[in-house]
Amino acid sequence: MFKKLIADSTAKSPWLFHINAGSCNGCDIELVSVITPRYDAERLGFKLTGTPRQADIVVVTGPVTKQTLPRVLRSISQVPEPRCIVTMGSCPQSGNVFKGSYSIAGPLSKYVHVDVAVAGCAPKPEAVIDGLALATQILKEKREKM
């Protein structure tokens, strides 16, 4: 009985943990604007959390630098299974203008499985909300398989 109650309640309110892996803060600003009252992603249940241990979805922004790579992987490993990883912007997916730099270790998909990739530099808030909604659906499917 309690397992079903917990499963139903967590399916409708995924918590997000944001990791800045060396970004220019363009994607970070767009993620914050999605949570604010103008776009109000909280009405869909999304809420930022301060710790990876409480998160369901991990949002990574910025090119993954060699200095941030161990911290990013450690933070992702602390998120309980099932989890969903979302890359936001073109930097964590390809490196964007930083590709080929001596300090870039990315893309993130070389190190962990990325479930959703939100494209753009910086992506529009509507695209971010759409990507988070897709991540919620993927997370629901992962929970059903467990």
| DSSP code per residue over 35-89 | HSTTT-GGGGT-EE-SSGGG-SEEEEES--BTTTHHHHHHHHHTSPSS-EEEEES
Q: Which structural domain, as residue segments, surrounds residue 70?
A: 16-145
Residue 86 is assigned to a structural domain of this protein: yes
Structure token pair of residue 46: 């999304």
Residue 67 is assigned to a structural domain of this protein: yes
Residue 3 is assigned to a structural domain of this protein: no
Residue 9 is assigned to a structural domain of this protein: no
Identify the CA nearest to 129 among candidates 137, 101, 83.
137
| 71 vs 145: which has the higher pLDDT | 71
Using the predicted structure, report yes or no on whether residue 6 has a pLDDT greater than 80. no
Full-model pTM: 0.86
pLDDT of residue 100: 79
Residue 97 is assigned to a structural domain of this protein: yes
Q: What contacts 21, CB < 8 A, 6 or more positions away? A: 60, 61, 62, 63, 64, 65, 68, 69, 72, 91, 92, 106, 108
Residue 10 is assigned to a structural domain of this protein: no
Q: pLDDT of 44-96, one tens digit each?
A: 888 888 888 888 899 999 888 889 899 999 999 999 888 899 999 888 888 78
* CATH number, residue 51: 3.40.50.12280
Split into its structural domains, the chain has a count of 1
Whole-number mean pLDDT of the chain? 85
Identify the CA nearest to 122 among candidates 36, 66, 47, 62.
62
Identify the CA nearest to 108 among candidates 19, 30, 12.
19
Residue 107 is assigned to a structural domain of this protein: yes
Residue 5 is assigned to a structural domain of this protein: no
